[in-house]
Structures are given as structure tokens and as C-alpha cells.
Amino acid sequence: MKFIKAKDYQEMSRKAANILGAQIVLKPDCVLGLATGSTPIGTYECLVEGYKKGDLDFSKVTSVNLDEYRGLQHDNDQSYYYFMNYHLFSKVNIDLANTYVPDGSIEDAQEACSKYDEIVRATGGVDIQLLGLGHNGHIGFNEPADAFAKGTHCVDLSESTIEANARFFASKEDVPTQAYTMGIQTIMSAKKILLVVNGASKAEAVEKSFFGEIRPEVPASILQLHPDVTIVGDEEAFARIADRI
């Protein structure tokens, strides 16, 4: 695992965007695995800047997102589809037909999940997967569990995740309680993983995930077994591991 230290959120975002940008330059028709949440917003802003400067061309890029709330239509402004469109897709020259987010409007969970697994398979594989980190060590919406889930599946969001995400909704009661998420096996099959993390509130999750025991109760701990993981974090997020990296 490679740890890249950044002094603050801006620097973390720039460094992460440079890594994703290099992937696009080296392989213009690459498959990007993308994440939502507040952590990668700055990274997307830097990618948009790179596009505006003429340094990055997204025209041949395909993207697959990690997750989506179950029950939200694409045009719902709280959906992850809407988020991706707002923060990245509408601001660069990516072909929308090559952007994929699990379809939260499909009620039948099995149908929604197997359809998404097929989509990911058909891309030929993710070249680089961007991840954020949940306070409880979740990646995608793979919450702490008794076993590592494989493919795309429907999850009940944990109380701590609902609370953390309530800031994006009018009230906690409005946060959907379920989501469709890529599974751990799908995430682990990406050729490269890039995880971004910032803030003191994530310091414990960082330590448990990357220096603790590998176990499904801390889903991100499985990343210790991936051959090509880069973690870009700010000083606060790395506070508990600073002397070990």
C-alpha cells in the first residue's frame, strides 16, 4: 500500500486528480470506477480544471460508479446519478452513454444488482477505482458485516451511515435506508485502487482499515490484500498512522 500525505483537503484533491488524470492520459479509453460523497468533490473539481485547460480528454472514458440509493430516480437531486452529473459528467466531454451508476429506480433488488454486475463485466474491468472511506470503515456501501460480499447487492444502511449522510437531506428521516452497491469482490478486481480520505473524524477508520486485522467488520481492511492501492490523505486523517507511513 502506498500512502501519499497531503497537508490539507485541497492538496489531497489535487494529488488524487493527478493520479486519475495520469490514467486518462496513459489510456484514453480507460474505465474509471467512481465514488460519491463529500471527499471526492475536490478531486472532481481538479479533473474539470484539467479538462478546461485542455490537459484531459474524457471522450473515450467509461465510468462505473460504486453505489446508488434504492428508490431514487436518476433525476432526484439526492441520487448519486445526479451527483455525478452535477460534479463531473456535465462539466467534461465524457459521453453520457458510457457512464454507469446502479439504477436505484429498479425496485426488484436482484434485477438491479445482476444488471449492474453485467454492465461492469461488459466494460472489460475497472482500470482504477476511486474510493472514499466511511467512518465505520465501509467502502462503497459495503457496511460492516459477518462476511465480505461479492457482487452488487442491496444493503441496509447502518445507523452511522444514515446519520453521516443526513447532512445532504432535509432531515434524517428522508435518507433512504437501503442502497445498491458494488460488492467487495468487484471493488477488489479493479486493477488499481485510489482511496481519498480527509479529516480527524476518519483517523480511527484509517488506522483500523490499513493497520488492523483484515475482517468484514471493517470492510476497507480487505484492501490490504490488493496489490496496487494508493491512499491519499490529509494530515488529520493520517494522524494515528503518521509514524508508520
Q: Does residue 4 sit in helix, strand or coil?
A: strand
Q: For cell 457512464, what's the residue?
A: 99
User: Does residue 68 interact with ligand F6R by CB under 6 A?
Assistant: no
Least distance (Å) between residue 130 CB and ligand F6R:
9
The CB-of-68 to ligand F6R minimum distance in angstroms stands at 9
Binder among 13, 23, 39, 43 for ligand F6R (CB under 6 A):
39
Regarding 35 and contact with ligand F6R (CB under 6 A), the answer is: yes
- Least Å from the CB of residue 209 to ligand F6R: 12
Whether residue 69 contacts residue 78, with contact meaning beta carbons closer than 8 Å, is answered with yes
**Number of C-beta neighbours around residue 110 at 10 A:** 10
176 makes contact with ligand F6R (CB under 6 A): no
Which listed residue (142, 143, 153, 198) is catalytic? 143
194 is an interface residue for ligand F6R by CB under 6 A: no
Determine contact, residues 90/152, Cβ cutoff 8 Å.
no
Binding mask of the shown chain, residues 126 to 145, with x at each position contacting ligand F6R by CB under 6 A: ------xxx---xxx-----
Any contact of residue 87 with ligand F6R (CB under 6 A)? no
Q: What angle do CA 165, 181, 106 make, to 5 degrees?
A: 100
CB of 169 to ligand F6R, least distance (A): 13
CA pair distance 106, 5, nearest whole angstrom: 40
The beta strand positions in 35-165, using DSSP E, are 62-65, 67-69, 99-100, 128-131, 153-156
136 is catalytic: yes
Q: CB-side exposure of 209: number of CA atoms within 13 Å?
A: 27
Mark the segment that binds ligand F6R (CB under 6 A) among 37-45, 69-77, 108-116, 143-151: 37-45
What Rg value do the Cα atoms of the chain yield, rounded?
A: 17
Q: Residue 1 or 60: which CB sits closer to ligand F6R?
A: 1
Active site residues: 67, 136, 138, 143
